Amino acid sequence: MDDDPILFQYLLRLGDSPLILAQQLGAWVGKGPALEEDIALTNVGLDLLGQARLWLTCAGEVEARLGGAGRSEDELAFTRDGGEFRNLLLVEQPNGSYADTMARQFLFDTWHLLALRALLPSRDARVAAIADKAAREVAYHVERSGDWVVRLGDGTPESHARMQAAIDGLWMYTGEMFVPDAVELALIDAGVAADVRALEAPWRRHVDAVLAEATLSVPQNGWMQGGGGRGGKQGVHTEHLGHLLAEMQFLQRAYPDAQW
């Protein structure tokens, strides 16, 4: 696969979702419901941050070979504005309670693992190699977040209600994960990108099974945000992303000439 602007866009999509989710998990450090949880959740955040760095570095290299700016991981993370971010809407939703955080994690992890595995046969060797490393880590994330959905769903009446509300609230952000746009379709044809259309059925099977074990119901409202090519992957975000970036990018913005 040759480097092209479409590949650059696709790599941002792969990197931005773990980056934004890692940023969110970073805000939990020191504030988890138990010490062991604090440590385990930070591990997940560190994995995602590491993956984001690999994808963004790769994107910057592709950009350089295209004759573009060849931005570093930090330039990409800290100097793009919200509309240039390509993460899924799901991961930018607020941390909320532990139920909200774990529901978000579970819905994302389940998709993430399927997407990474679908990238293993990618004709772009760099993409396949990063996906391989990331998939090993994410296999553990899926187990952990699914476990929490079950514990909280099948826990106390309070935790059950909280987890059901969390799943219900986040459900409408899961649709865009399975809808490819022109960028993805071109790369799917070229054998580089994961065909996300094929991920919906296995995603639903796993999610349905975990929700059933958790005594939770699958949300009835099937309306999905971000349809029609106007979602996170295209840079059309919810209000939450701007605040997250304002915090994350503060130092690079305030001291634009500094090295850290």
Task: Report in angstroms how near the CB of residue 257 gets to other proteins at its nearest.
Answer: 6
Task: Report in angstroms how near the CB of residue 26 gets to other proteins at its nearest.
Answer: 4
Task: Report in angstroms how near the CB of residue 33 gets to other proteins at its nearest.
Answer: 3
C-beta of residue 232 within 8 angstroms of C-beta of residue 92: yes
Task: Report in angstroms how near the CB of residue 50 gets to other proteins at its nearest.
Answer: 7
Toward other proteins, which CB reaches closer, 65 or 160? Answer: 160
Toward other proteins, which CB reaches closer, 146 or 175? Answer: 146
Toward other proteins, which CB reaches closer, 72 or 225? Answer: 72
* Contact footprint for other proteins (CB under 8 A): 19, 23, 26-27, 29-39, 42-43, 45-46, 49-50, 52-53, 56, 73-74, 77-78, 97-99, 150-152, 154-156, 158-159, 162, 247-248, 250-252, 255, 257-260
Task: Report in angstroms how near the CB of residue 43 gets to other proteins at its nearest.
Answer: 7
- Scan for tokens 């070979």, then name that residue: 65
C-beta of residue 165 within 8 angstroms of C-beta of residue 216: no
C-beta of residue 6 within 8 angstroms of C-beta of residue 191: no
What would the DSSP string read from start to end of 88-156?
-TGGGS---SHHHHHHHHHHHHHHHHHHHHHTTT-SSHHHHHHHHHHHHHHHHHHHHHHHHHHHHHTS-
> Angle CA(77)–CA(192)–CA(196) in degrees, nearest 5?
80
Task: Report in angstroms how near the CB of residue 255 gets to other proteins at its nearest.
Answer: 6
What does the block give as tokens for 22?
């890692």
Toward other proteins, which CB reaches closer, 156 or 221? Answer: 156
C-alpha dihedral sign at 88, 236, 101, 51? positive
Toward other proteins, which CB reaches closer, 44 or 199? Answer: 44
Toward other proteins, which CB reaches closer, 182 or 246? Answer: 246
Dihedral-angle region of residue 215 (phi above 0 means left; psi in -120 to 50 means alpha; beta otherwise): left
C-beta of residue 65 within 8 angstroms of C-beta of residue 28: no
